[in-house]
Structure 1
Amino acid sequence: MVVMMMKKMEPRLLAIMFMASLFFPSFVHSLVRHYKFSVVLKNTTKLCSTKSFVTVNGQFPGPTIHAREDDTVIVRVTNHVPYNVTLHWHGIKQFRSGWYDGPAYVTQCPIQPGQSYIYNFTITDQRGTLWWHAHITWLRATVHGAIVILPKRGIPYPFPKPDDEKIIVLGEWWKSDVEAVVDEATKSGGPPNISDAHTINGHPGPVAGCIFQGYTLHVESGKTYLLRIVNAALNDELFFKIAGHKLTVVEADASYVKPFEIDTIFLSPGQTTNVLLTANQPVGKYLIAITPFMDAPIGFDNLTATATLRYKGTPPYSKTMLSTIPAVNATEVTFRFIDSLRSINTNIYPARVPLTIEHDLFFAITVGVNPCDTCLQGIRIASAINNITFVMPTTSLLEANYYNIPGVFTEDFPPRPPMVFDYTGVQPTNLQSNNGTKLYRVKFNSSIQLVLQGTAMIAPENHPFHLHGYNFFVVGQGLGNFDPEKDPLTFNLVDPVERNTIGVPNAGWAAIRFRADNPGVWFLHCHLEVHTTWGLKMAFVVDNGEGPNESLLPPPPDLPKC
C-alpha cells in the first residue's frame, strides 16, 4: 500500500486533511485513489480584499487530483458552507456513471449545507490535463482545481519526456462575494459586474489597490518542463505568453495533438492546454502574462495578470525581461492558434470521427431580452439556443429520466431554429425567447453532427461551449453564416482536434461530431458563466443500449435529495 498525505492544516482555517490513498496489490496496474474534499470558507487579504470566499480544503486554487488512465477516483465531498454545492469533473467522460458528473439539477441534486456525497468514477481511455469545479451558480470562481491523468504504466508520452511538470491555473477574482454579484444582477435584469482581476495560480500580480502578489515559475537552464495550463476563469477567454520563450503545444483538453511551436496560446473558459517549455534563454527573470481576448464592444475585465519565470542562479534584483502582449481584439492570434490544432491520429491514438450522420443539428445562439415583472427595468437579458431559454428544474433531470418522473422536462428541443434569419447580419425585431426545460433524445450509439451558429443579437461575442459526458471532434469553423452546401466540403474528417470545450467565434460558427455511446443525461452549455445564468444551455438524453455494459448504472444510495 502506498499512502500520500499532506501536512495537517490548522483548525483555524476550517480545513481538513487532504489525503490520497492507493489501495490495491502492487501487481494491479489500475488503482483506487481516495480524496477528501471539505468545502469551507476561507478569509484572505492577499487578493485585494478581506472577504471570506468558498474553497476546497482551504486552498485556492483547490487541491490537484492525480491519477492514471484506468484508475478509479473516489472523492468524499463534505459541505461546510451556507450554500448548496456540487462538483463537476470537467472533461471526465463518466461512462455509465452520470450520477457523478456534477451539474446541479442535471445529474444530481445539490449537496446541502452539512451534508456529504461520494463521487466515484473510473477514468477510461483518457490521459492528460483536465480540471474539476463547482457546478452551481458562480461558486466555481474559487472552487476549482486541476486533474492530472498520467498514461498507463509503461506507456510513454507521444512527445519527448519532460524533466518536470508544472500546473498553471488561470482565473478571475471579484473583490465582492460572487453570489452577491449574481443576486444583484438577477434583481436588476442586467449584466453582472465584471471581475476585478485575473489570477495565475491564485495570484494577480501587481493590481491597483492590491498588495503585490505574484506566482513564480522556477526553472533550470537546459531543462524542459511540461506546463499543464487550465483556464478556470468564469467569463474571460485568455492569452498566455512567456517573454523570450517559445511553447510547443502537445495536448488540448486531455487529447494529444500534433506538436507545433508558438509564442502565444489561447484558452477559452473550460479549456486546458499542455505545452513544453525549454529553459534555453540566458539566466534571468522573464515575464509571464495572461491577457483577455474580446473582439466585441462589450464590458469585460481588461486587466493583465502577471507572474515570473525565474532561472536558477538569477542574481538578486535582476530586471525582468518584458514582452509585447496581444491586443484585446487580436482575433488573428486566436485563429492562428486554433487552426494549428490537429489530432495526432496514430494507431495508438486514432481519430475516430463519425463519417455518417444520423442527427444533423443546427443550434443558433442568441442573446435577447424577456419581460420581467420583478426586475428594475421590467426586462431581463436572456440567452437562448434555437429560441429556447433553458429553465433549470427543481428535480434532477437524470433522476426524472431514470425513474420516469412526469412533468420535469419535455423531449421537444428543436433541432433547428424555429425561424431562419441572417444570423450574423440584420437581426429580427423580436428579441424575446421562449422559456422551457426541453431536452433532445437520441438512441445509444447515434452519430451526431452539431453546428453551433453565433448571432449578432445584442451581445455578439465568442461562446465557449462545453459538452458533458463526451469528447467531440471539431470538424470545421468559419465566420459568417454556416452554408450547409459549401462549408461541409471543407470539413476535416481525417485529423480534427478532439476536445470537450469549443469556442464558437464571434459572428461565426463551429461544427462538431461525436458518437452518443454514453447513456444518461448530458449537459451542453456556454462556459461563460454569465451566459449560462441567462439560460444558454440544453441537455441531451441518450438511451441505454443493449445489455448492462451499455446501460446507465443504478443511482448510488447517498445521492443527494432535492
Structure 2
Amino acid sequence: ILINGRGSGATLNIEPGKTYRLRISNVGLQNSLNFRIQNHKMKLVEVEGTHTIQTPFSSLDVHVGQSYSVLITADQPAKDYYIVVSSRFTSKILITAGVLHYSNSAGPVSGPIPEAPIQLRWSFDQARAIKTNLAASGPRPNPQGTYHYGKIKVTRTIKLASSAGNINGKQRYAVNSASFYPTDTPLKLADYFKIAGVYNPGSIPDQPTHGAIYPVTSVMQTDYKAFVEIVFENWEDIVQTWHLDGYSFFVVGMELGKWSAASRKVYNLNDAVSRCTVQVYPRSWTAIYVSLDNVGMWNLRSELWERQYLGQQFYMRVYTPSTSLRDEYLIPKNALLCGRATGHHTTTPGPLSEGSERF
C-alpha cells in the first residue's frame, strides 16, 4: 500500500490551529482500504462531487475507485501522529503508516498504531450513514431536476449479478453470464456511423440467467430520459465495486442477503448520496437510481482490475432517435477513426438558423 506513491514514512506537514481538506482516493486495483489518523477525527464533507452531511469519523472505509473529502483540524498537542492505511476484508492485512507532522512538533510518533475495524457490519453502517447535505449548494429540495429522486416513477428495473468461470480453459468473469470481449472498433464510433456487425443491442440480459458464462461484446439497450433502478447482486465472498461512466447515481439501499421487491421498503428516498462508484458487500445487494439523461455509449464495469479486464463489464447504450445537439454533440473533427470506422467522416456543424434545435 502506498500513500501518494510512497510507502511507510510519507509525511503531511500541518500548522497548529488550521483546518485542512484531505482528498482520499483508493486508486488500487483490488482491495478496499481503511484510512485513519491517530487522535484526529475526520469530518466527511464530500463524496465524488456530492456535499454530504458533515459526520465525524475516526476511520473511513474507501473501496476501490472511490473518493472522499474530509476536514481535519490541527487541534491536538504538538507532536507527530500516525496516518494509517490498511487493507480491509483480506486474509493477510496489508498496512502502511505515514506521519502527520505539526510544524511545532515536540517529538516523533509514539504509541500503538490505531487499529482498523474488522466487522463487515461496521462498514455497512458507515456506508448507510453517508448522506447528501440537502442544505448545501443551493435551495433544495428543488422543484426541478432529479433531487426528488424518491418521487420519480421508476421505468425499468435492471438486476446485475457477477460470476466467474472458464471459457476455452481460461479464467473469465461475467455480468448476467455475459463476459465482455472488445471489438476492433470503438463502440461509440460503430453506433455513430451505424456500422453493422460490431455489436448487437440487447446482447446482455437485464436479469441474471444463472447459466454458464459466454463471450460477447455486451451492450444493453436503454432509453434516453428513462429513470432506472439498478440492483447489483454479489453472490461471491469478496467486496466488489462498480463504476458507471457518464453518470452519477443515487445509492438508495444496500443489505445482506438476496434482493426482492420487498427490499424497496428500506430504501432511502430522501437524502441518499449521489456518486459514480459504489460497493457491493459479500453475499449482499446494493440498489441505485439513475436518470438516463446523457445520450451515448457508457461503460458499466467492475473496478477490480482483474475482473474488469477479464470480462466483468458491459456498455449501456442510452438511445434517442433525435439528432438534436441538445441531446448529444457531434463527434469532434479530430477524433481518431479506427477499426471499421476508418474512411468515415465526421460532420462539421453549419451555422445555426432561427428556430434551430441544436442547443
TM-score normalised by structure 2 residue count = 0.87
Q: 1:334 aligns with which of 100, 123, 138?
A: 123
- Any idea what the Cα deviations from partners look like across 1:65-115, whole Å, max 9, x if unmatched? xxxxxxxxxxxxxxxxxxxxxxxxxxxxxxxxxxxxxxxxxxxxxxxxxxx
Q: 1:416 aligns with which of 207, 225, 246?
A: 207
**Other-structure match for 1:449:** 229
Alpha-carbon distance, 1:349 to partner = 5.7
In 2, Cα distance between equivalents of 1:352 and 1:256: 16
Q: Residues 488 and 285 of structure 1: is their aligned pair in 2 closer, same or farther, counting only changes over 3 Å?
A: same
- Any idea what the Cα deviations from partners look like across 1:112-154, whole Å, max 9, x if unmatched? xxxxxxxxxxxxxxxxxxxxxxxxxxxxxxxxxxxxxxxxxxx
Letter in 2 for 1:498: S
Letter in 2 for 1:397: L
**Other-structure match for 1:70:** none
**Other-structure match for 2:314:** 538
Matched residues, number: 329
Letter in 2 for 1:311: Y
- Any idea what the Cα deviations from partners look like across 1:466-525, whole Å, max 9, x if unmatched? 0000000001101011122x1011111111011100001111000001111101100000
SS in structure 1 at match of 2:265: helix
**Other-structure match for 1:384:** 174
Q: Residues 407 and 560 of structure 1: is their aligned pair in 2 closer, same or farther, counting only changes over 3 Å?
A: closer
Q: 2:84 aligns with which of 265, 273, 289?
A: 289
Alpha-carbon distance, 1:416 to partner = 0.6
**Other-structure match for 2:132:** 343
Percent identity reads: 26
In 2, Cα distance between equivalents of 1:220 and 1:199: 24
- Determine which structure has greater relative contact order: mean sequence separation of CA pairs < 8 Å that are 6+ residues apart, divided by chain length: 2
Letter in 1 for 2:160: F
Question: Which segments of 5 or more consecutive residues in structure 1 lack a partner in the other structure?
Answer: 1-197, 206-213, 373-378, 420-429
Q: Decide whether the 8 Å contact of 1:293 with 1:330 is kept in 2.
A: no
Letter in 2 for 1:252: V
**Other-structure match for 1:478:** 255
In 1, Cα distance between equivalents of 2:74 and 2:113: 16
**Other-structure match for 1:498:** 274
- Any idea what the Cα deviations from partners look like across 1:309-333, whole Å, max 9, x if unmatched? 0101114x63435432225x43133
1:517 and 2:293 matched: yes
In 1, Cα distance between equivalents of 2:303 and 2:109: 38
Question: Which segments of 5 or more consecutive residues in structure 2 lack a partner in the other structure?
Answer: 142-146, 340-359
- Any idea what the Cα deviations from partners look like across 1:318-373, whole Å, max 9, x if unmatched? 3435432225x431331232021111124446534262111211111112x2143x
In 2, Cα distance between equivalents of 1:324 and 1:541: 46
**Other-structure match for 2:149:** 353
Alpha-carbon distance, 1:204 to partner = 1.1
Q: 1:240 aligns with which of 16, 35, 48?
A: 35
In 2, Cα distance between equivalents of 1:489 and 1:204: 45
**Other-structure match for 1:320:** 110
Q: Decide whether the 8 Å contact of 1:286 with 1:322 is kept in 2.
A: no
Alpha-carbon distance, 1:545 to partner = 6.6
Q: Decide whether the 8 Å contact of 1:384 with 1:537 is kept in 2.
A: yes
Q: Decide whether the 8 Å contact of 2:189 with 2:337 is kept in 1.
A: no
Q: Decide whether the 8 Å contact of 1:544 with 1:551 is kept in 2.
A: no
Q: Residues 545 and 259 of structure 1: is their aligned pair in 2 closer, same or farther, counting only changes over 3 Å?
A: farther
**Other-structure match for 2:100:** 309
- Any idea what the Cα deviations from partners look like across 1:244-301, whole Å, max 9, x if unmatched? 1100001111211111011001111111100010111100000001001116x6xxx7
SS in structure 2 at match of 1:392: coil
Q: Residues 243 and 560 of structure 1: is their aligned pair in 2 closer, same or farther, counting only changes over 3 Å?
A: farther
In 1, Cα distance between equivalents of 2:225 and 2:335: 30
Q: 1:434 aligns with which of 214, 220, 226?
A: 214
